[in-house]
Amino acid sequence: MALENFDKKYRIPPGKKSTIVEPPNLATNEEKIDFFRGWFAGDGSVTVDRKRPRLELWSKSRKLLKWFREVLEQNGIESRIFYHKRKDQYLLSIGRIGDVINFYEKIVIPHPEKQEKLKFLVSRFLPPAI
């Protein structure tokens, strides 16, 4: 896909974009999930909070994170958005273990280290394989 087509389809302008990026106008759920996967691979993190896995995505664009939250919700994954004054950024967080497991089962992160870390953290909450 040529760069200009990529920019047009996903509405990602070249250069600094944290405060100007707009959610893309994508037709299918799969396209929306693919866009989210790519964004999460670059800017998301798999972490631990009180011995439980947690997924986080920071952005200056509340509008983009709201779009991501809607996409996740359409796929049965709840998330929350918080504003951190000190960082002047918004945080989309998936913290409930059921939602983290649901994310793990439905969305493969195209970043091998992040996907492996998520698999490791979620493994103790999954029933043993038969």
Q: One digit per residue, pLDDT tens: the chain, 130 residues? A: 444 554 565 555 555 555 557 788 888 999 999 999 999 999 999 999 999 999 999 999 999 999 999 999 999 999 999 999 999 999 999 999 999 999 999 999 999 999 999 999 999 888 776 6
Structure tokens at 12: 């990602």
Which three-class secondary structure state does DSSP give residue 21?
coil
Domains of the chain: 24-123 (3.10.28.10)
pTM, to two decimals: 0.82
- Cα separation, 72 vs 79, whole angstroms: 7
Cα dihedral 2→107→52→115 (10° resolution): -60
